[in-house]
Amino acid sequence: MYPADYRYTKDHEWIKVQGDIGTIGITDYAQQELGDVVFVDLPKVGAKLAPGKSFGSVESVKAVSEIYSPVSGEVTETNPLLVDAPEKINTDPHHTAWLIKLKLSDPKEAASLMDAAAYEAYIAEQAKEHSA
């Protein structure tokens, strides 16, 4: 379910690193919590991102989730698909519904994030807490 070559954050973003390009999206867990996505607010190309800084939001009917950058870099692309079809985040959050691509300031930054196994353990714990 969670691609092995991605890294994950506690705020449920994923990042895929290819050389000095990073692709960021939100995880399947995040889209489930949000419900049907109706709108995505993304930064402009050229925007500078810093770790922990919010760069946009994903909205459902009754909730808004800020998206936080896990790394530093400069936005090079935003996903045009999400303008007219934000619901793709619900159906394919890990692949076609990526949010942004960015030029990484430090490609090694992402390595300190959780890997797929650690993330799956983390959300299992979260799920237990919620039903407690």
Binding site for another protein (CB under 8 A): 36, 38-39, 41, 59-64, 86-87
Region of 35 (left: φ > 0; alpha: ψ -120 to 50; beta: rest) is left
> CA 5, CA 86: separation in Å to the nearest integer?
25
Looking at the Cβ atoms of 61 and 111, the one nearer to another protein is 61
Looking at the Cβ atoms of 70 and 86, the one nearer to another protein is 86
Shortest CB 54 distance to another protein, Å: 10
Token pair listed for 109: 């930054």
Shortest CB 36 distance to another protein, Å: 4
Shortest CB 37 distance to another protein, Å: 8
Looking at the Cβ atoms of 63 and 124, the one nearer to another protein is 63
- Residue whose pair of structure tokens reads 């960021």 in the numeric block: 24
- 118 backbone dihedrals φ, ψ, rounded to 5°: -60, -40
